[in-house]
Structure 1
Amino acid sequence: MFSGIVQGIAEVVSIKGSDNDKQISFTFPKDFALTNGDSISINGVCLTVVSIKKSIFTVDISGETNKITTFSHISIGDKVNIEPSLKLGDSISGHFLSGHVDGVVQIKSIESSGNSMVVSFNIPPELKPFITRKGSVGIDGVSLTVNSVNEECFNLNIIPYTKENTIIGNYSLSDLVNIEIDIIARYIEKQLVYKLDSLSHKKVIK
């Protein structure tokens, strides 16, 4: 489990294997503590550290993870957001993120707003019920609040601190990013669907 408060930026230094079985290695900041077996959020994806050599750590990427995240087109030299998993007693400054990415969205526009910037993303049809104004969303592992939403897009306001301390400051038009919807919204939707299915089943029996 993660909070969506990025703790550092890492850089891709090696990519080995195929789309079905990939290993990626990253550099990481000196003050970022890691051990083998740790869970780590990389651009919002929960992965396991399988090896550490000096200032480089390596993770395995399964075919499924490669398919539904931006790891399918990651390149050497790319920068990524990283966050260690939460420990009991840690502060929750963002919102709970599981690291189970729901898909990929594309940047439709980037505009300046004072010292901040407003970034607009497309909304996949299957995620529309979960994205609402003032709701929470995870973008590349960053906990953010939805500024506004319409039928086609949702907008996020990015403050200067977030621009400077995450890879969001390097976003460009048409970039693809990982998205995770609010875990609470996901479970509420599941319960509502179950309840409606149950009521429909009872009506059929009667």
Structure 2
Amino acid sequence: MFTGIVEEVGRVEHVQSGKLTIRADRVLEDMHVGDSININGACLTVTTFDASSFFVDIMPETARRSNIGQLKTGDSVNLERALAFGGRLGGHLVQGHVDAIGRLASIRWEGDTLVLEVEAPPEVMRYVVEKGFVAVDGLSLTVVDRRATSFSVSIVEYTRTNTTIGDRYVGDAVNLEADILAKYVEALTRPESSGITEEFLREHGFLVS
């Protein structure tokens, strides 16, 4: 589990056959093989690391559902280590399970604030509400406007300059994860459902086969 507060921007050093090498600094502190790390919103597992880089495998499902499979050498990526119990929750609960890929429909300035409009598929939009949370490339962001097929988020100066979001262009693909609390509410209020079921927990990554 993560918070959606990016710790640093890493750089892709090498891509080969479903494996990534990421150059980093801060997230290497106290890193262990098997740790979960959020890379652009996707939870991946550290397979090995050295003094300046760490290595992860990309599962086929991750490549299909996210933009991770499109990364190339030299690309910048948002990085966040897993939430430690007892730590501060600065954003919202982010699983690192990408629901779908969205597209940047527009980018505009409102004073000193950057406003991004993101086109998203129905499986994400059903959980998007104004003033609610959504994760975009691993960032915990607040929805400022919602339309039928898109939503808008505001980016403050610090976030723009300390994550990859400020380097995005119209048409770019972004990883989207809807708020897990919205999914719980839907499950609990679904007429044909008795509440949280084993199937629901498995579908959203809380149980594995």
TM over 0.5: yes
2:40 aligned residue: 43
Give the Å deviation of 1:191.
Answer: 2.3
Partner letter of residue 106 of structure 1? R
2:16 aligned residue: 16
1:196 aligns with 2:192: yes
Q: What whole-Å deviation, never above 9, does each CA across 1:42-86 have from its counterpart, x for those lacking one?
A: 011111110102201000101111111001211111100000001
Give the Å deviation of 1:189.
Answer: 1.2
Mapped to 2, the partners of 1:30 and 1:131 lie a distance apart of 32
Structure 1 residues not aligned, in runs of 5+: 199-206
Give the Å deviation of 1:3.
Answer: 0.5
2:200 aligned residue: none
Partner letter of residue 191 of structure 1? L
SS at match of 2:188: helix
Mapped to 1, the partners of 2:141 and 2:27 lie a distance apart of 25
1:105 aligned residue: 102
1:90 aligns with 2:90: no
Aligned 8 A contact 2:134 2:140 in 1: yes
Aligned 8 A contact 1:99 1:141 in 2: yes
Mapped to 2, the partners of 1:180 and 1:135 lie a distance apart of 12
Equivalent pairs: percent with the same residue? 37
Partner letter of residue 173 of structure 2? L
Mapped to 1, the partners of 2:63 and 2:147 lie a distance apart of 29
Mapped to 1, the partners of 2:132 and 2:50 lie a distance apart of 40
Mapped to 1, the partners of 2:73 and 2:180 lie a distance apart of 31
Mapped to 2, the partners of 1:30 and 1:111 lie a distance apart of 31
Q: 2:163 aligns with which of 141, 163, 166?
A: 166
Mapped to 1, the partners of 2:27 and 2:184 lie a distance apart of 36
Partner letter of residue 88 of structure 1? F
If the length of structure 1 is used for normalisation, what is the TM-score? 0.90
Distance change >3 Å, CA 30–CA 118, structure 1 → 2:
closer
Aligned 8 A contact 2:5 2:140 in 1: yes
Moved more, 164-173 or 184-193: 184-193
Mapped to 1, the partners of 2:94 and 2:46 lie a distance apart of 18
1:54 aligned residue: 51
Partner letter of residue 10 of structure 2? A
Aligned 8 A contact 1:9 1:80 in 2: yes
SS at match of 1:94: coil
1:119 aligned residue: 116
Distance change >3 Å, CA 40–CA 9, structure 1 → 2:
same
SS at match of 2:85: coil
1:145 aligns with 2:126: no
Mapped to 1, the partners of 2:193 and 2:96 lie a distance apart of 29
Give the Å deviation of 1:126.
Answer: 2.1
Partner letter of residue 179 of structure 2? D
Mapped to 2, the partners of 1:110 and 1:196 lie a distance apart of 41
Aligned 8 A contact 1:107 1:122 in 2: yes
Q: 1:130 aligns with which of 121, 127, 131?
A: 127
Distance change >3 Å, CA 196–CA 70, structure 1 → 2:
same
Moved over 6 A (4+): none
Mapped to 2, the partners of 1:134 and 1:57 lie a distance apart of 36
